[in-house]
Structure formats: C-alpha cells, structure tokens
Amino acid sequence: MIEVKNVGRVYGKKENAFVALDDISFSIPTGATVAIVGKSGSGKSTLMHVMSGLDRPTTGSVVIDGKELHKLKGKDMDNFRATGMGFIFQSFFIEANQTCQQNVMLPLEISGLPISKRKKAVLAALTQVELADKVNTKAGNLSGGQKQRLAIARAIVNKPQIIFADEPTGNLDSATGQKIMDLLFGLNKSLGVTLIIVTHDHELAARCQRQVVMKDGKTVTNTQKQNSGSLNLGKVGK
C-alpha cells in the first residue's frame, strides 16, 4: 500500500515560490495499476519523483507499506529504492559512458545480489526489452527508443514491487510501445507488481484500473474501473 498524505511541493523561495503540488492525498493498494494524467506542467512528474523518493515533499508524507519513505536516510533509502522500486523517468538517468550491461546492473549492485547471479539477471532483463545484442554497447550510442528500453530493463531487473513509469512509451513507435506496455502489465499480472504510470495516452490510461487526474498541482478527479477495489482520494488526517 502506498499512502500519499497531504503532500505539497514548493519550488523556489519567496516571490519565486511555485506550488507544484498542493495538498495531495490518496492511497494505492498493492498490486494496483494506476494512471496519472493531466496537462503538461500539472505536476505529474513532480508527484512521481516525490512518491518514489527521488525528491522530498515540502509538506506531508509518503508511506509505503507502513514505512515513511522520506524518513529513510542514506543507504537505507538507496537500498529501499533499489530493491523495492523500478523507475522509468522522462530523463532516463542513463550513464552514457557505461555499457548497457553496466547500466542495468546498477540496482543489483546496490541491492547486493551475489555477483555470480548478476550477469544472468541483466541478460534476462535486456532480452525482455529486445536489447540482448547490445549488452556491451555504450548506452550513449543507443537510439532514443533503445535508451528508453534500456531504462525499462534497469527498472525491471530487480523484480521490484512497485514500478514508476513517466511516459514510458513516449519515445517509442506504437508497436514497440505496445510490447513494452504488455511487458509491464504482464509483470503486474504475474508478480503483482504495482504499476504507476504517467501518460498522455488515453488508451494506455484506460488499461489501468484507476486514473488520477492532475490539474495545477491538485488532484481533480479519479475514475476507477468497476470491481477494482477502492482508490481512496479522500482527505487523510495530518
């Protein structure tokens, strides 16, 4: 369960202060598929960054399976993120000078998978995104879509419980995008991975059980497929 409690995020100070997230509260049950939608600049990426521990909220908290995420420090935070979460973000955070293998191996190094098992896990993840032939290619030499697939391989290599994906198919042709989404939804079905996806793609959003709609840093509505459990968007106590 992921609980977002009264989360606010303000960028800048004083007269330059900008409220990117304004008192957001909702909760997501384990194993759910959730689309975060809304116009450009509405705060979707900021919300994902805060929910995944990449950024800190200015106010409020994010609680994952009873643990307050932003209270974790240093190595505890790194370890929690590397073992429990996968990330596919708009700026891929790919190391251009490292090979595909090195890029995908990073979460395994942080989580401490035995060295003998790492190469096999990396190859399996690269195979799933059809990049097995690029194991030793420098990430900087990949095409845009290949970089995106590399980011996806890195996000799934550890079999995380939660995958955060910010426009995961934004740079892909529709056939490749479709395959990637089938892969992510497949992980949801087979392993119960919670999927949280920012998307402008209506079809993709409709495939998710729930939709959180953002407008000017607030959640405006949420829709939910029938029989998919409850997404509580009500206020939670401070």
Ligand X SMILES: Nc1ncnc2c1ncn2[C@@H]1O[C@H](COP(=O)(O)OP(=O)(O)OP(=O)(O)O)[C@@H](O)[C@H]1O
Query: What are the residues binding Mg ion (CB under 5 A)?
Result: 45
44 counts as binding ligand X under rule CB under 6 A: yes
Determine the Cα–Cα distance for residues 219 and 212; give it in Å rounded to an integer.
Answer: 7
Cβ at position 202, least distance to ligand X in Å = 14
User: Residue 109 has which token pair?
Assistant: 């190094």
Determine the Cα–Cα distance for residues 33 and 210; give it in Å rounded to an integer.
Answer: 6
Which SS3 state, helix, strand or coil, does residue 28 take?
strand
Q: Which is nearer to Mg ion, 45 or 146 (CB)?
A: 45
Contacts of 58 (CB under 8 A, 6+ apart): 8, 9, 10
Cβ at position 4, least distance to ligand X in Å = 14
Instruction: Give how many residues touch ligand X by CB under 6 A.
Output: 12
Cβ at position 108, least distance to ligand X in Å = 29
148 counts as binding ligand X under rule CB under 6 A: no
Contacts of range 178-187, beta carbons closer than 8 Å, 24 or more positions apart = 179/130, 180/129, 180/148, 180/149, 180/152, 181/207, 183/128, 183/129, 183/152, 183/156, 184/152, 185/33, 187/156, 187/159, 187/163
The answer to whether 107 and 158 are in contact (CB under 8 A) is yes
213 counts as binding ligand X under rule CB under 6 A: no
Cβ at position 230, least distance to ligand X in Å = 25
Cβ at position 1, least distance to ligand X in Å = 24
Residue 46 interacting entry, from Mg ion, ligand X, none, C-beta within 5 to 8 Å by type? ligand X
20 counts as binding ligand X under rule CB under 6 A: yes
Q: Which stretch binds ligand X (CB under 6 A): 42-50, 91-99, 142-150, 183-191?
A: 42-50
40 counts as binding ligand X under rule CB under 6 A: yes
Cβ at position 183, least distance to ligand X in Å = 23
45 counts as binding ligand X under rule CB under 6 A: yes
Q: Which is nearer to ligand X, 148 or 158 (CB)?
A: 148
The answer to whether 177 and 169 are in contact (CB under 8 A) is yes
Phi, psi of 2, rounded to the nearest 5 degrees: -110, 125
Q: Which is nearer to ligand X, 46 or 194 (CB)?
A: 46
Q: Which stretch binds ligand X (CB under 6 A): 40-48, 111-119, 121-129, 203-211?
A: 40-48
Residue 41 interacting entry, from ligand X, Mg ion, none, C-beta within 5 to 8 Å by type? ligand X
The answer to whether 136 and 154 are in contact (CB under 8 A) is no
Phi, psi of 101, rounded to the nearest 5 degrees: -60, -45
The answer to whether 88 and 151 are in contact (CB under 8 A) is yes
Binding residues for ligand X, rule: CB under 6 A, are 11-12, 18, 20, 38, 40-46
